[in-house]
């Protein structure tokens, strides 16, 4: 790629509504990293910060994508070494079409429903649902999560440094409909996810809190 092509690519990506982060020199992603139990010694010379977002999709807005390296604090670093997330970083922002709900795959949500109904049953009951409606609640959470993510209705949810290697976390805002005596009410709740490659979202917490 010529210098002019590289500049054109960066400008196009900066104007895009959605981007994919891509490292052309690494096949490592959070998906592959999870398969080796997040063993950092096995990904050398690649870094955790890069591989956990490699091939992932983000709304191209502040607080909805990984923070880029602030070179204003390190003006001595030459331009040719100024990578996206750190000096000599190979990651690039690539323009992608705005995702649609059918493009998104949510996983690990269904297996967390028992936890939700055991630990946060009062939330479910408060919104008008009962234990026999676990599948209905699951389907609603899945549908609303896909829709809200595609609308960019989410924010970064940074973990502690020691948990950063487990993936890039986001908190999706959901408008959850009430039922029975709560019919007509809309509850502003959040659901927590880890962004995985190519439109996959791994659920961490079905209902993380009130929005």
* pLDDT, tens digit (0-9, with 9 covering 90-100), for 1-22: 544 445 455 555 566 899 999 9
Residue 153 is predicted with a pLDDT of 97
Do 67 and 117 fall within a single domain? Answer: no
Do 115 and 80 fall within a single domain? Answer: no
Do 105 and 57 fall within a single domain? Answer: no
3-state secondary structure (DSSP) of residue 203? strand
Structure tokens at 104: 């998104």
Alpha-carbon Rg for the chain, nearest whole angstrom, is 19
Structure tokens at 141: 């959470």
Kindly state the percentage of the chain with pLDDT values over 70: 93
Domain residue limits at 86 = 3-96
Instruction: Give CA–CA dist 173/142, Å, rounded.
Output: 12
Do 27 and 107 fall within a single domain? Answer: no
Using CA atoms, how far residue 176 sits from 155, 166, 169, 186, 211, in Å, is 18, 28, 21, 5, 11
Instruction: Give CA–CA dist 2/125, Å, rounded.
Output: 60
DSSP 35: H
Q: Which residues of 35-48 are buried (b: 16+ CB within 10 A; e: fewer)?
A: eeebeeeebeebbb
Cβ contact 1:22 at 8 Å = no
Last residue of a domain, one of 96, 127, 161: 96
DSSP 133: G
Last residue of a domain, one of 76, 96, 116: 96
Structure tokens at 148: 């809200």
Instruction: Give CA–CA dist 39/36, Å, rounded.
Output: 6
What's the domain count of the chain?
2
Residue 37 is predicted with a pLDDT of 95
What pLDDT, in 10s, does the model give residues 72-114?
888 888 888 888 998 888 999 999 999 999 999 999 999 999 9
């Amino acid at each position: 790629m010529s210098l002019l092509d590289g500049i054109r690519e960066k400008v196009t990506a900066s104007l895009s509504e959605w981007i994919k982060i891509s490292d052309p020199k690494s096949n490592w992603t959070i998906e592959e990293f999870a398969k080796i139990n997040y063993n950092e010694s096995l990904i050398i010379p690649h870094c955790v910060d890069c591989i956990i977002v490699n091939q992932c999709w983000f709304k191209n807005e502040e607080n909805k994508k990984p923070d880029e390296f602030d070179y204003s604090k390190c003006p001595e670093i030459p331009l040719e070494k100024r990578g996206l997330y750190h000096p000599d970083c190979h990651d690039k922002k690539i323009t992608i079409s705005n995702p649609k709900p059918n493009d998104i795959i949510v996983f690990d949500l269904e297996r967390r429903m028992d936890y939700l109904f055991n630990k946060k049953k009062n939330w479910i009951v408060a919104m008008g649902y009962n234990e026999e409606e676990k599948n209905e609640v699951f389907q609603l959470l899945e549908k609303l999560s896909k829709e809200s993510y595609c609308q960019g209705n989410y924010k970064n949810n940074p973990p502690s440094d020691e948990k950063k290697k487990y993936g890039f976390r986001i908190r999706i805002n959901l408008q959850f409909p009430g039922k029975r005596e709560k019919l007509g009410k809309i509850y502003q709740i959040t659901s927590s996810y880890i962004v995985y490659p190519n439109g996959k979202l791994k659920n961490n917490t079905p209902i993380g809190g009130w929005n």
